[in-house]
């Protein structure tokens, strides 16, 4: 399973959260207004103890029922005003925060599309999914509640402490006694909770990966009766996550216990001291009531510190995980080889001394491709043949720049592909893979992905005819029939034919086919080859081939052996002159069978390592 980069051990939560500012800036007015309204609501709540003081020392002491009713009206109005202000705050933040979350999710998706294939090779898809769902949900919750109330509660505590000190400074000092222990506890809690929160969110990503892989691989799991072992693996990961969540709960319980207990003890001590002062006549009963009411009003702001800090740390971790992906470099237009090299002479598709090793391979490991020189002339079709692990799939992946060459150059009609934008390059080059990928979309949309937006029914019909994919017209809704996830509602041969149709629908100048007919039966393969020959007559093509029938589609054949081009010639020439090629085409070689694209790729990576 792919792992994510190790997080930084020491990071500032505030500095991390400040990276959200570009997304928050467009809605800052409403958020600042909501914060101001919340502060105003909290301050209104702190006026209530002052009204109580006036009532106790005034109408109650003077036995004035009218004054008591008036004070009750004041309290009612203050309570209603506080409730309305908090309701207004909620209304102010709801719409802008949904906009922030949607913008971040859209940016993440757009960025993922622009990241190189090498990035997706390293990262587990579940980790990416968790960043686009769970992490963004945590950030929205943070912006909606903790961000505002860390400020609101801080201001409330400050104003409340000032009010209490003005009421009676000795009682105020008693209340402030636990301040230092609480701050020390919060500092320790914040550091420890940050590590556990990061671990939990990474484990959620791992769990998401297992679920996704189990759903996509359900046929394998059922076919081999592995549901129990998969369930066991899921339970183990789920149990690990549960243990991490319990560690978070223990940390939160510890700080909550400290934050709740110490202020309660202080309030109790202040009550005793205040009662003594009232009995001695040094303090009025109204002042004591107002003081204790203010202290009780500050209980929630103080007790919520642990909860708010925990959510803030989880938000900081979510921000860190989000920007781990966003900070990855996207595919650039810059030249991968020597920018000082002159433009290449010649036309067609040409490899100039190309060497390649995978980005995650050790620096001194042998390259997967070593000084490959190959020229496919304009309008020519060349078959690429080689044993498993020889580098065939890797070589084809370099043409559309799924990977960048380590050294050397690849040119199309004399133009270095690194001088072309990827959009322009991929408009010239179409690809079809042995293991086709279809999306949960109508058949026609899947095929027309290979053409520009102007393509329509005529181009679709032509491409389906070339790929001998007339079966789509017998589907319930024809070309509008929606295929299931990964196209598993279709057979392997049907998926391959649709992938081939997608490759030819745009009438590309260059065509790269990675054993696209391996899943077809003999009769369908013959029909597809006959139609494909007409397409190849006007296209420069490189075809990875495992079977003689596919090789015969090409004008010439290149033998790739050990990452290098060992021989080039026609099929019949190589059969006579090259023993390795003759052995591969004899069918006795155990390394190449249909359906081995993934094995080819893994073999190459293993060799690179």
For the chain, the average pLDDT equals 81
Distance CA 501, CA 464 (A): 5
Distance CA 298, CA 591 (A): 74
Distance CA 581, CA 518 (A): 19
Mean pLDDT over 15-35 rounds to 88
Q: What is the pLDDT of residue 410?
A: 92
Q: What is the pLDDT of residue 485?
A: 67
DSSP character at residue 442: B
- Residues whose CB is less than 8 angstroms from the CB of residue 319 and which lie 6 or more positions away in sequence, other chains included: 16, 17, 19, 20, 139
- Residues whose CB is less than 8 angstroms from the CB of residue 110 and which lie 6 or more positions away in sequence, other chains included: none
User: Looking at the predicted structure, is the pLDDT value of residue 523 above 90?
Assistant: no
Q: Which domains occur in the chain, in start order?
A: 21-326 (1.20.1560.10), 349-608 (3.40.50.300)
Distance CA 528, CA 522 (A): 10
**Are 423 and 463 spatial neighbours (Cβ–Cβ below 8 Å)?**
no
User: Looking at the predicted structure, is the pLDDT value of residue 164 above 90?
Assistant: no
pLDDT digits (tens, 9 = 90+) for 533-577: 777 877 888 988 888 888 888 889 999 988 899 999 999 999 989
Q: What is the pLDDT of residue 230?
A: 82
pLDDT digits (tens, 9 = 90+) for 308-331: 888 888 888 999 999 999 998 887
Per DSSP, the three-state class of 540 is strand
pLDDT digits (tens, 9 = 90+) for 465-479: 888 888 888 888 888
Q: What is the pLDDT of residue 221?
A: 79
User: Looking at the predicted structure, is the pLDDT value of residue 14 above 90?
Assistant: no
Report CA-CA distances (Å) from 473 to 46, 275, 390, 455, 479. Answer: 73, 90, 40, 19, 6
Mean pLDDT over 98-110 rounds to 89
**Are 93 and 148 spatial neighbours (Cβ–Cβ below 8 Å)?**
yes
pLDDT category at 169 given cuts 50, 70, 90 is confident
pLDDT category at 595 given cuts 50, 70, 90 is very low
Please state, as a whole number, how many other Cβ atoms lie within 10 Å of the Cβ of residue 247: 17
Please state, as a whole number, how many other Cβ atoms lie within 10 Å of the Cβ of residue 405: 22
**Are 2 and 124 spatial neighbours (Cβ–Cβ below 8 Å)?**
yes
pLDDT digits (tens, 9 = 90+) for 369-415: 989 999 999 888 898 998 888 888 889 989 988 888 889 999 998 88
**Are 504 and 430 spatial neighbours (Cβ–Cβ below 8 Å)?**
yes
Mean pLDDT over 479-496 rounds to 78
Concatenated DSSP letters for 214-247? HHHTHHHHHHTT-HHHHHHHHHHHHHHHHHHHHH
Cα 142 to chain centroid distance, Å, stands at 19
Mean pLDDT over 515-533 rounds to 74
pLDDT digits (tens, 9 = 90+) for 289-314: 888 888 888 888 887 887 788 888 88
Could you tell me how many helices (H) and strands (E) the chain has, helices first?
A: 24, 10
Report CA-CA distances (Å) from 237 to 210, 234, 243, 323. Answer: 9, 5, 10, 25
Is the pTM for the entire model greater than 0.95? no
**Are 195 and 215 spatial neighbours (Cβ–Cβ below 8 Å)?**
no
**Are 313 and 190 spatial neighbours (Cβ–Cβ below 8 Å)?**
yes
User: Looking at the predicted structure, is the pLDDT value of residue 420 above 90?
Assistant: no
Distance CA 523, CA 35 (A): 72
Q: What is the pLDDT of residue 108?
A: 92
Q: What is the pLDDT of residue 144?
A: 82
């Amino acid at each position: 399973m792919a792992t994510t980069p190790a997080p930084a051990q020491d990071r500032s939560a505030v500095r991390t959260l400040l990276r959200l500012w570009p997304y928050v800036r467009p809605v800052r007015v409403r958020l600042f207004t909501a914060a101001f309204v919340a502060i105003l609501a909290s301050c209104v709540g702190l006026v209530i103890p002052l009204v109580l003081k006036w009532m106790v020392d005034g109408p109650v002491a003077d036995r004035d029922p009218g004054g008591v009713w008036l004070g009750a009206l004041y309290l009612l109005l203050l309570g209603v005003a506080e409730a309305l202000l908090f309701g207004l705050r909620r209304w102010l933040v709801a719409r802008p925060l949904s906009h922030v979350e949607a913008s971040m999710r859209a940016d993440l998706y757009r960025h993922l599309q622009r990241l190189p294939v090498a990035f997706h090779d390293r990262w587990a898809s579940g980790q990416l999914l968790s960043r686009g769902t769970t992490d963004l949900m945590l950030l929205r919750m943070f912006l909606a509640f903790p961000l505002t109330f860390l400020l609101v509660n801080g201001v409330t505590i400050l104003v409340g402490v000032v009010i209490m000190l003005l009421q009676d400074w000795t009682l105020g000092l008693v209340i402030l006694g636990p301040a230092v222990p609480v701050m020390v506890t919060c500092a320790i809690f914040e550091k420890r909770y940050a590590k556990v929160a990061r671990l939990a969110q990474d484990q959620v990503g791992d769990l998401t990966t297992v679920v996704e892989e189990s759903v996509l691989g359900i046929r394998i799991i059922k076919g081999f009766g592995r549901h129990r072992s998969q369930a066991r693996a899921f339970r183990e990961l789920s149990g690990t996550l549960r243990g991490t969540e319990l560690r978070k709960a223990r940390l939160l319980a510890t700080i909550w216990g400290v934050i709740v207990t110490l202020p309660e003890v202080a309030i109790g001590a202040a009550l005793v001291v205040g009662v003594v002062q009232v009995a001695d006549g040094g303090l009025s009963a109204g002042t004591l009531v107002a003081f204790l009411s203010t202290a009780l009003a500050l209980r929630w702001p103080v007790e919520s510190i642990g909860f708010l800090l925990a959510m803030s740390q989880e938000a900081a971790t979510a921000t860190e995980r989000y920007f781990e992906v966003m900070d990855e470099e996207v595919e650039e237009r810059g030249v991968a080889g020597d920018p000082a090299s002159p433009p290449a002479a010649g036309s067609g598709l040409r490899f100039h001394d190309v060497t390649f090793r995978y980005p995650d391979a050790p620096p001194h490991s042998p390259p997967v491709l070593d000084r490959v020189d190959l020229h496919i002339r304009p309008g020519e079709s060349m078959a690429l043949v080689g044993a498993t692990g020889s580098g065939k799939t890797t070589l084809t992946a370099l043409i559309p720049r799924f990977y960048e060459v380590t050294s050397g150059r690849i040119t199309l009609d004399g133009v270095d592909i690194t001088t072309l934008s990827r959009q322009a390059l991929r408009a010239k080059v179409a690809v079809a893979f042995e293991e086709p990928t279809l999306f949960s979309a109508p058949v026609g949309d899947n095929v027309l992905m290979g053409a520009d937006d102007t393509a329509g029914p005529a181009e679709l019909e032509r491409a389906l005819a070339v790929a001998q994919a007339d079966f789509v017209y017998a589907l319930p809704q024809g070309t509008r029939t929606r295929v299931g996830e990964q196209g598993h509602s279709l057979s392997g041969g049907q998926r391959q034919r649709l992938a081939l149709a997608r490759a030819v629908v745009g009438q590309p100048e260059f065509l790269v086919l990675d054993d696209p007919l391996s899943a077809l039966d003999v009769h369908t393969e013959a029909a597809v080859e006959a139609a494909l020959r007409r397409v190849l007559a006007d296209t420069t093509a490189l075809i990875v081939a495992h079977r003689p029938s596919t090789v015969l589609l090409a004008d010439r054949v290149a033998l790739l052996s050990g990452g290098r081009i060992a021989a080039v010639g026609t099929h019949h020439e190589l059969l006579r002159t090259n023993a390795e090629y003759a052995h591969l085409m004899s069918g006795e070689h155990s390394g190449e069978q249909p359906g081995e694209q993934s094995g080819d790729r893994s073999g190459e990576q293993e060799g690179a390592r």
